Amino acid sequence: MLAKDCCRLTKFGLKALVYPHQQLAKMTSTALSDIHKDHSDSWHGKVEKDGHFPPRSGRYHLYIGLFCPFAHRANLARHLKGLTNIIDISIVKPYPKGDDNGWPGWKFDSAYPGATPDKLFDSQYLHEVYFKADKEYKGKYSVPALWDTVEETLVNTESAEMLRWFQTSFNDMVDEEFAKVDLYPEELREKIDKIAEWMASDLNTGVYKAGFAPDQETYDKNVVPVFGALNKLEKIIAENRGPYVLGKKLTELDIRLYATAIRFDTVYHQHFKCNLGFIRHDYPVINNWMKHLHWDVKGFKESTDFKHIKENVSQLRKLLIFHGR
């Protein structure tokens, strides 16, 4: 999906090229299963009681990039649910993303402000972690990625899935104030699912469809839905009278929207040419909603790093210019 182009990198020519670390990588018992169906599939495991991956403090490790809106969603849920002392993180440098074929991918560089080493394996690149889970892996190296230190494999690499089950999986291990945070309340699930569907297509991934459009026609087709989604969200938040998207209750819609909105004026407007309007000038309701989350709700500001966001996208400038943007 284009949504993951900013965060996912494909290994090129795997069948033809053999790298030394591949020969050393370990194929775990969960490498090919319902969790990871084939060597091109991502991981879809779930932390749950009595499941293959039971909740345990310190057992799981989250790999993220502070530049990536999809990794931001998982990390933000980690903050809101009080999991920062239960799930540690390693943070990749926001650039470079690799050569024209995406190799070797995201790098660990503790000298870069806000980035960390790979705290588990001291890997140089994120792809090394993927190869530890599946030595024949042919897919993409993405953030976020959740690792199980007991099974020695990846659990999940899909932010939307993590966002959903992070909300309940560790409730028995956190203080009541965090356990009662319910971002997917039963009475609002129908609304959440309906809005999340078009928000993902038109806005969360829409900025990338427009920004990486290969020609003017494709750009024109994809930039309009971005602002159509913003128009609808401006109206929804206003009608529900805030302070959150659906009114008085914080939900996962706020996380999904915030991760895109906080990047919009800073990078998407200029670099991705989503420039039919600014949030700060043309969407006052969304702007006030976003400022409230950033400054008043703990976890939003703490998980946002503008240096990583801006420097990641600035490094894509050559690619965007190549595409005529």
What separation, in Å, do the N-terminal and C-terminal C-alpha atoms of the chain show? 20
Amino acid in the structure at residue 242: G
User: Annotated catalytic residue: which of 6, 7, 68, 274?
Assistant: 68
Residue in the block written with tokens 């039963």: 186
CA distances, 103 to each of 3, 11, 107 (Å): 19, 6, 11
Residue 261 C-beta-side C-alpha neighbours within 13 Å:
29
Contact 274, 268 (CB under 8 A): yes
274 is catalytic: no
- Between CA 303 and CA 313, with CA 309 as vertex, the angle to 5 degrees is 160
In 3D space, the residue among 267, 260, 181 whose CA is nearest the CA of residue 3 turns out to be 260
- Residues constituting the chain: 325
In 3D space, the residue among 156, 202, 185 whose CA is nearest the CA of residue 244 turns out to be 185
Q: Where are the alpha helices (DSSP H) in 170-251?
A: 176-179, 189-199, 206-211, 216-240
CA distances, 102 to each of 16, 36, 145, 226, 319 (Å): 16, 22, 17, 27, 12
Contacts with 237 (C-beta within 8 Å, 6 or more apart), sequence order: 244, 245, 285, 286, 289
Contacts with 210 (C-beta within 8 Å, 6 or more apart), sequence order: 219, 222, 223, 226, 272, 273, 274
Tell me which residues are annotated as active site.
68
